[in-house]
Amino acid sequence: ALERTFSIIKPDATRRNITGKVLSIIEASGLRVVAQKRIQMTKEQAQGFYAVHKERPFFGELVDFMISGPVVVQVLEGEDAIAKYREVMGATNPANAAPGTIRKELAESIEANTVHGSDASETAKEEIKYFFQDHEIVG
């Protein structure tokens, strides 16, 4: 089915000036960008976004990394967009990611792993709402 998923191009990518390379892999996969903005997340915003991970040992570092520079938040649309984008991103740890995936080709580490993508339909809806108003999404 036609779906929307939420994506973040993380600070390691804005720092290295490679957001275009990331976008080019996304678009080559057939996914379409229907909303996009560059933002500096606040600490509160990052903590809220990653609240499901708040008991994890890496939570503090993850939040600090996500506010270490600007990010590009996006809504991507396409057939089975959620699963499709997870394929295009590759495994969370770039060391385990398949060739051609964003993380294999571009990521620096499990933390600085270049992109985030929603893991399921419910979280996609929540994550999109966390950063975008309806009128900002133009399909």
Residue nearest to ligand CMP (CB): 116
Nearer to ligand CMP, 80 or 111 (CB): 111
Among 110, 121, 123, 125, binds ligand CMP (CB under 6 A): 110
Among 43, 54, 58, 96, binds ligand CMP (CB under 6 A): 58
Of 84-103, which residues contact ligand CMP (CB under 6 A)?
92
Among 80, 105, 111, 137, binds ligand CMP (CB under 6 A): 111
Using CB under 6 A as the binding criterion, the count of chain residues that bind ligand CMP stands at 8
Q: Among all residues, which ones are annotated catalytic? A: 116
* Minimum distance of ligand CMP from residue 111's CB (angstroms): 4
Assign 3-class secondary structure to the chain.
Answer: CEEEEEEEECHHHHHCCCHHHHHHHHHHCCCEEEEEEEECCCHHHHHHHCHHHCCCCCHHHHHHHHCCCCEEEEEEEEECHHHHHHHHHCCCCHHHCCCCCHHHHHCCCCCCCCEEECCCHHHHHHHHHHHCCHHHCCC
